[in-house]
Structure 1
């Protein structure tokens, strides 16, 4: 059985897979090798290189493993038509992303950017605003694995957490839960609004100017899900109108963000260039999930982790 990678794990990681699964023919490339894909049974990818034409030509393909959580660039319809197993690495992002989110919140609350600027100017100034997380309220839109970890950390700081998802069903480390339908009702309560939503038909354009207008003027808005959650012009206008105090953005409608985009020069916008999930442990964790699933695959079992409902895209 041939397994094709379109990215190159470290040498010790490649050797570990080869030694653990000697019955498998592993092919590693830095990018997608179309000829190798035609005879591969399993394809391991970051999810941005696979096109509908590739699915058509990959007659032996039975399983696609995406070493990412996002699937919006995948040819889902063609994968569904071929009944190809699709899995991802949902859950491995929760530690680095939750730490990144908390770091930015604390940085704003404790005015770390201003402190850094004062240091550059050798300016001894105690006129630095500082506020506490304790006693505040955070609305987490998309309280899955990542959102739950964010909620856990925030609760440790004494923050009241409200989760918001499609159904309103209970999620881990949320003090309250609401559905998308009740979003406007809870936004005025939140000091921090964090979106960690995937890109689906239900989430694209979910937030509008009216949502930002209903938030506290002191609120921090953070988007760590997907850029198509909102129209960037709506967010820009909301910031200019002082509807909210800050926006921390890790994702954008078009990436990389163009150098002349107004967000770069706005004093109340913090740009994180889609790096919140970066970690030295990222590939390690991804390959751990892949190895467990590969063991099940080789044993002809069906207990796979992170199987994607292709019709929903998550």
Structure 2
């Protein structure tokens, strides 16, 4: 049985897989034009290189393992028609992303940009006035694995956490919950608003002018989910109007962010080039999900594989 990797992993990872699964033929660091596409039973990919042409050629394909959480760039409708199981690595981003978000929140609250700017000018001034996280409120759009982890960290700082999902159902490390329908009413109370929502038909364009206008003029907005949560021009207009006060953005409508995009030059915006999930442990964590699933697959228990993706929902 052929298992085709469409990206590079380290040599010790290759050796580990070959040792753990001696009956499996692994093909590492291949491209979509490789003839092995036609014979491979399993394809391991980041998702962006799987299109309908690849699916047409993959005559023996039985399972797609996506080493990413997002699958919105894949032809999910066609995959559903072919009835090919898809799994992803949902949850492995929670530690690096939550730590990054917390770092940005603390940097904003403690005015660290001002501290760094003063150092550049060799200025000794003690008029910088930061604020505390204690007793503040944070709204987390998408309180799943990543949202729950940032909620846990914020609670340790004495922040009251509010989760927001489609139904308002309870979520771990959230003190209170609101549904998408109750979002507009909840926003005026929030000191920090964080989105880690995936891209789905329900989340595209979820935030509009009314939502940003409802935010505090001291609120920090962070988007670490997907760039189609709002129209970028609407966010820019909102930031120019002072609601929210500032934004930290890791995702954008167009990536890479064009050099002429106004967000680069806005003093109340931090542009992060979609790097919040980067970690030296990324592949290790991906394989920790892939290997048990591969064992289940080989044992004829594909229905028990973790992190199955619903192609119709997109997650």
Taking structure 2 as the reference length, the TM-score comes to 0.98
Are 2:4 and 2:30, in contact at CA under 8 Å, matched by a contact in 1?
Answer: no
1:104-143 paired onto structure 2 within 5 Å: 104-143=104-143
Deviation at 1:152, TM superposition (A): 0.4
SS in 2 for 1:243: coil
Counterpart of 1:70?
Answer: 70
SS in 1 for 2:8: coil
Deviation at 1:124, TM superposition (A): 0.8
Counterpart of 1:61?
Answer: 61
Alignment of 1:94 with 2:70, yes or no, is no
> Distance in 1 between the 2:213 and 2:285 partners?
40
> Distance in 2 between the 1:78 and 1:129 partners?
55
> Distance in 2 between the 1:135 and 1:268 partners?
24
Are 1:3 and 1:25, in contact at CA under 8 Å, matched by a contact in 2?
Answer: yes
SS in 1 for 2:304: coil
Report Cα offsets for 1:271-308 as digits up to 9, x if no partner.
11000000011110001100010000011113111001
1:64-213 paired onto structure 2 within 5 Å: 64-213=64-213
Deviation at 1:29, TM superposition (A): 1.6
Report Cα offsets for 1:176-222 as digits up to 9, x if no partner.
01110000010001000000000000000000111000010000000
> Distance in 2 between the 1:65 and 1:231 partners?
31
Counterpart of 2:308?
Answer: 307
1:12-51 paired onto structure 2 within 5 Å: 12-29=12-29, 31-51=31-51
Are 2:9 and 2:29, in contact at CA under 8 Å, matched by a contact in 1?
Answer: no
Are 1:5 and 1:32, in contact at CA under 8 Å, matched by a contact in 2?
Answer: no
Report Cα offsets for 1:126-157 as digits up to 9, x if no partner.
11120000000000000000000010000000
> Distance in 2 between the 1:309 and 1:72 partners?
11
Alignment of 1:256 with 2:252, yes or no, is no
Counterpart of 2:276?
Answer: 276
Alignment of 1:9 with 2:24, yes or no, is no
Are 2:87 and 2:307, in contact at CA under 8 Å, matched by a contact in 1?
Answer: yes
Taking structure 1 as the reference length, the TM-score comes to 0.99
SS in 2 for 1:164: strand
Are 1:4 and 1:27, in contact at CA under 8 Å, matched by a contact in 2?
Answer: yes
Are 1:6 and 1:33, in contact at CA under 8 Å, matched by a contact in 2?
Answer: no
SS in 1 for 2:244: coil
Are 1:68 and 1:89, in contact at CA under 8 Å, matched by a contact in 2?
Answer: yes
Cα distance change of structure 1 residues 54 and 30 upon mapping to structure 2, 3 Å threshold: closer
Could you list the structure 1 runs, at least 4 aligned residues long, displaced by more than 6 angstroms after superposition: none
Counterpart of 1:244?
Answer: 244
Deviation at 1:32, TM superposition (A): 2.8
Structure 1 vs Structure 2 CA RMSD: 0.8
Are 1:247 and 1:269, in contact at CA under 8 Å, matched by a contact in 2?
Answer: yes
SS in 1 for 2:49: coil
Mind listing any 5+ residue stretches in structure 1 that lack a counterpart?
Answer: none
Are 1:34 and 1:54, in contact at CA under 8 Å, matched by a contact in 2?
Answer: no
Report Cα offsets for 1:38-86 as digits up to 9, x if no partner.
1100000001001111111111000000000001101111111111010
SS in 2 for 1:239: helix
Are 2:65 and 2:87, in contact at CA under 8 Å, matched by a contact in 1?
Answer: yes
Mind listing any 5+ residue stretches in structure 2 that lack a counterpart?
Answer: none
Report Cα offsets for 1:6-25 as digits up to 9, x if no partner.
10111100111011101000
> Distance in 2 between the 1:19 and 1:130 partners?
53
SS in 2 for 1:161: strand
